[in-house]
Amino acid sequence: MSAEEILNEDELYRRFPDVFWLRDDGRISSAAFQNTPNTDDMSVDLARLTTPQKTAAVYPGCGVASFLAELPRKLGQQVLHDPIPTNSAHSNVRGKKTKPIRKKLAEGSKVVLLSTNLK
């Protein structure tokens, strides 16, 4: 599958283990928005090519947060579609995730699925 252009209006899904990263006040911890160790990328799914359930199903105990592609771009990050054999929606938010950037990503995200809703 070839890579698609991701528009600012496109929604992105970020899978996260909600038992660890969902705070008691219902907000997502900024810890949920880190790059994969030893990379410059944070994996997300392009929402129009998947569903929250599919994104969450990869790993037990995970919920799904969503944000618009415009948000990381405004923070100086690149958003690139990067399909892989097991996930055509796979994309990357590329760039260093400083503490202020992680915090802004957390503030601009909303929870669309909790792991408890999958049981």
| Segment 37 to 96, residues that bind other proteins, using CB under 8 A | 37, 42-43, 58-59, 62
16 belongs to the binding site for other proteins (CB under 8 A): yes
The tokens 């070839």 sit on which residue?
2
Nearer to other proteins, 5 or 25 (CB): 25
Give the 3-state DSSP-derived string for the chain, with helices as H, strands as E and coil as C. Answer: CCCCCCCCCCEEEEEEEHHHHECCCCCECHHHCCCCCCCCEEEEEEHHHCCHHHHHHCCCCEEEEEEECHHHHHCCCEEEECCECCECCEEEEECCCCHHHHHHHHHCCEEEECHHHHC
Question: Smallest distance from the beta carbon of 95 to other proteins, in angstroms?
Answer: 16
Kindly tell me which residue out of 100, 110, 116, 117 binds other proteins, with binding defined by CB under 8 A: 100
Kindly tell me which residue out of 2, 5, 9, 24 binds other proteins, with binding defined by CB under 8 A: 24
Residues lying near other proteins in the complex (CB under 8 A)? 15-17, 20-21, 23-25, 27, 29-32, 34, 36-37, 42-43, 58-59, 62, 99-100, 103
